Amino acid sequence: MLTLSQVTKRYPTGDRALTDIDLTLPRGQVMALIGPSGAGKSTLIRCVNRLVEPTSGSIRLEDTELTRLSGSALRRARRSMAMIFQEYALVDRLTVMENVLSGRLGYVGFWRSFLRRYPREDIAEAFRLLDRVGLPHALDKRADALSGGQRQRVGIARALIQSPSLLLVDEPTASLDPKTSRQIMRLIRELCTERNLAAIINIHDVALAQQFADRIVGLRAGKIVFDGSPQALDAETLTTIYGEEEWDTRVSEDETQHEPEHGIAPSPRLALATGGAS
Amino acid sequence: MSRQAQAQAGQWRRLPMIENPKLRWGLVVGLATYLLLALASVEVNWARVAEGASRGLNFLAAFTRPDFVSRQGDITAGILESLTMTLTSTVIGVALSIPVGLGAARNIAPWPIYYACRGIITVSRTFQEIIIAILFVVMFGFGPLAGMITLAFATIGFMAKLLAEDIEDLDWRQVEAIRATGANWWQTMNHAVQPQVMPRLIGLSMYRLDINFRESAVIGIVGAGGIGATLNTSISRYEYDTSAAILLIIIAIVLLCEYSSSHIRRWTQ
Ligand SMILES: Nc1ncnc2c1ncn2[C@@H]1O[C@H](COP(=O)(O)OP(=O)(O)O)[C@@H](O)[C@H]1O
Ligand SMILES: [Mg+2]
């Protein structure tokens, strides 16, 4: 359904963020895009909905060549690919309902949206979605009065009311605690299955990616270095994606957690640092 | 001793702003000398000061017996004229400053429009209200019309500049999120930009209302109507008690503006 071929992005600053990306995403597939910071994950999904202009290559959604669209054709194409953001990117001073309904902006005219006179079925759908993500009581609250997890739920509702066929999700859980992160990922996964949506989910957390995605793509320095099922992801492939590190996560987490307990005696690294300065 | 070694011994001062001590002290001595010479060059005519002091005292003494009554008609007319000028010029100026401000924000306006709008702002801000008022009095004749146009013109520069700065500081993620839904330019302005700048826009408009009232008293002196004209007449007729009354009224109105505008600003947050 979505096909990227030979997509390259070079920023004006000279950073080569993506190099010759080839990727095909079938309908209904949930793909996790993993990789270290700066690998180009955000750049990739932003090239798809053209918040970032790809330097070269072609991106097709169904039968539309996205890279050549402009003006109203681009806006029409954007309706079918909804984006969910890391920092939620809700409009703080608008209410929850206004935020959700803003997902319909691509469908309604300026005056309707200006006067907030959305069609009845849009309003009903907005409320249904708010109910689905568990926030029916919050409709008149201001977006900045919500907690992080609640905001992300509103962000999800705003994306779904676009009735998209593709979700572009940029680190949906990076600002959330572990429990909320799982709930949000589960919600996104369920909604994709319910509505047969394809999704590209940029995510830091490898364990979450493995649990909720059908397919994992690893990006490193703007190139795809892994493409396979979640089960195929082992320590060796993680090393190709992220570089050398001890990949048995539980052990390394234990180490870091125990460090403070050494308490008064300075850790070796700390002792070294003070020794070096004097 | 190096600064690190000194710091280890407990001795540390922040680095001076100008590193070279000769240059630093040279600048201080040079500035002090210039200041002394400059003060010495101002001629003071002590006889005139003595004479003027008593007139000044007369003026101040008038504040103990302000006369609101004998020129009541002129004062009321002047105040009403000033308030009308203030309100109309603020509304017109703010309305015109919104498109100019949008155009002068680097992050949302294309280059040619950006330069055009920055040009308008610069012209409006270069000249002090009095100079603009003199020009408009020449063009439109004495009276409040010239004053109103003057204040509206000055309001455009002030508001558009601050509005543009506010737009340049937007949280861009909110704008991108709205654009990503397929919204067009006007919808993006209305849904992502307006909610972010509205409180500041209202606050600044209130502040400008306040400024415009004070300015309306000043530009009246060059013939642009309003309470300033009444004040000017009373001073030139040596009716200081009437002048005192007018000044007290101006102070009261400015205080009132100040009070209500801070209220409204708190409410918009
Ligand atoms: N707006 C930008 N201007 C210039 N360089 C950018 C910009 N955005 C990202 N980059 C660069 O592109 C590379 C990829 O960034 P990004 O796509 O944000 O990575 P990720 O989302 O995987 O952390 C980085 O080297 C980053 O510095
Ligand atoms: Mg990113």
The secondary structure element, H or E, covering residue A84 is strand A81-84
Which class for B183: exposed (0-12), middle (13-18), buried (19 or more C-beta within 10 A)? buried
User: Among B135-149, B183-197, B238-252, which range has the highest average pLDDT?
Assistant: B183-197
Q: pLDDT-derived band of residue A275, with 50, 70 and 90 as boundaries?
A: very low
> What are the residues facing A224 on neighbouring strands?
A219
| A218 assigned to some structural domain | yes
| Residue in the structure block whose two tokens are 């003027």 | B52
pLDDT (mean) for B197-209: 90
Q: pLDDT-derived band of residue B52, with 50, 70 and 90 as boundaries?
A: confident
Identify the pLDDT of residue A273. Answer: 40
Same domain flag for B111 and B26: no
> How much of chain A exceeds pLDDT 70, in percent?
88
B54: CB partners within 8 A, 6+ apart: none
Nearest chain B CA: its distance from A6 CA (Å): 23
Q: What is the pLDDT of residues A9-36, one digit of tens each?
A: 999 988 889 999 999 999 999 999 999 8
| B248 assigned to some structural domain | yes
> How much of chain A exceeds pLDDT 90, in percent?
62
| B163 assigned to some structural domain | yes
* CATH code: domain of residue A2: 3.40.50.300
Identify the pLDDT of residue A247. Answer: 64
Total domain count, chain A = 1
CA of A46 to the centre of ligand 2 (A): 10
The ipTM estimated for the assembled molecules is 0.84
Give B183's contacts in chain A (Cβ within 8 Å): 75, 102, 105-106, 113
| B150 assigned to some structural domain | yes
Chain A, residues 51-80, CB within 8 A of chain B, namely 51, 72, 75-79
| B244 assigned to some structural domain | yes
Give A93's contacts in chain B (Cβ within 8 Å): 195-196, 198-199
A205: CB partners within 8 A, 6+ apart: A173, A181
DSSP state letters, chain B: --HHHHHHTT---PPPSS--HHHHHHHHHHHHHHHHHHHHHS---HHHHHHHHHHHHHHHHGGGS---STTHHHHHHHHHHHHHHHHHHHHHHHHHHHHHHHHT-TTTS-HHHHHHHHHHHHHHHHS-HHHHHHHHHHHH-SSHHHHHHHHHHHHHHHHHHHHHHHHHTS-HHHHHHHHHTT--HHHHIIIIIHHHHHHHHHHHHHHHHHHHHHHHHHHGGGT--SHHHHHHHHHHTT-HHHHHHHHHHHHHHHHHHHHHHHHHHHHH-
Report the amino acid identity of residue B210.
D
**Residue with the larger pLDDT of the pair B53 and A100:** A100
Within 13 Å of residue A174, how many CA atoms lie on the same side as its CB?
16
Q: Is pLDDT of A249 > 80?
A: no
| B56 assigned to some structural domain | no
A206: CB partners within 8 A, 6+ apart: A34, A233, A238
Same domain flag for B202 and B246: yes
Q: Is pLDDT of B104 > 70?
A: yes
Total domain count, chain B = 2
Q: How far apart, in whole angstroms, are the C-alpha atoms of residue B171 and residue B166?
A: 10
Residue in A with minimal Cα distance to B5: A278
| A142 assigned to some structural domain | no
Which range marks the domain in which residue A277 is found? 1-25+35-74+203-278
Q: What is the DSSP letter of A267?
A: P
Q: pLDDT-derived band of residue A268, with 50, 70 and 90 as boundaries?
A: very low
Report the amino acid identity of residue B204.
L
Identify the pLDDT of residue A106. Answer: 92
Mean pLDDT of chain B: 90
Q: pLDDT-derived band of residue B119, with 50, 70 and 90 as boundaries?
A: very high
| Residue B186 touches partner A, C-beta closer than 8 Å | yes
* CATH code: domain of residue B148: 1.10.3720.10
Q: Name the residue at shortest CA distance from atom 2 of ligand 1.
A: A11
Q: How far apart, in whole angstroms, are the C-alpha atoms of residue A124 and residue B97?
A: 38
Say if the Cβ atoms of A90 and B177 lie within 8 Å: yes
Same domain flag for B88 and B192: yes
Copy the structure tokens of residue A5: 């071929």
The secondary structure element, H or E, covering residue A226 is strand A223-228
Q: pLDDT-derived band of residue A252, with 50, 70 and 90 as boundaries?
A: very low
The secondary structure element, H or E, covering residue A32 is strand A30-34
Nearest by CB: B192 against A91, A155, A158: A91
Q: Is pLDDT of B235 > 90?
A: no
Copy the structure tokens of residue A227: 């493409």
pLDDT (mean) for A136-155: 91
Q: What is the pLDDT of residues A97-130, one digit of tens each?
A: 999 999 999 999 999 999 999 999 999 999 999 9
- What's the CA dihedral at B67, B72, B74, B75 to 10 degrees? 60
Copy the structure tokens of residue B148: 């109103």
Identify the pLDDT of residue A248. Answer: 63
Q: How far apart, in whole angstroms, are the C-alpha atoms of residue A138 and residue A147?
A: 11
Report the amino acid identity of residue B149.
I
Please check whether residue A129 is in contact with residue A101, taking contact to mean a CB–CB distance below 8 angstroms: no
Same domain flag for B27 and B113: no
Same domain flag for B171 and B211: yes
Q: What is the DSSP letter of A116?
A: T
Q: How far apart, in whole angstroms, are the C-alpha atoms of residue A41 and residue B146?
A: 59
Q: How far apart, in whole angstroms, are the C-alpha atoms of residue B24 and residue B14?
A: 15
Say if the Cβ atoms of A114 and B171 lie within 8 Å: no
| Residue in the structure block whose two tokens are 């080839």 | A22
| A97 assigned to some structural domain | no
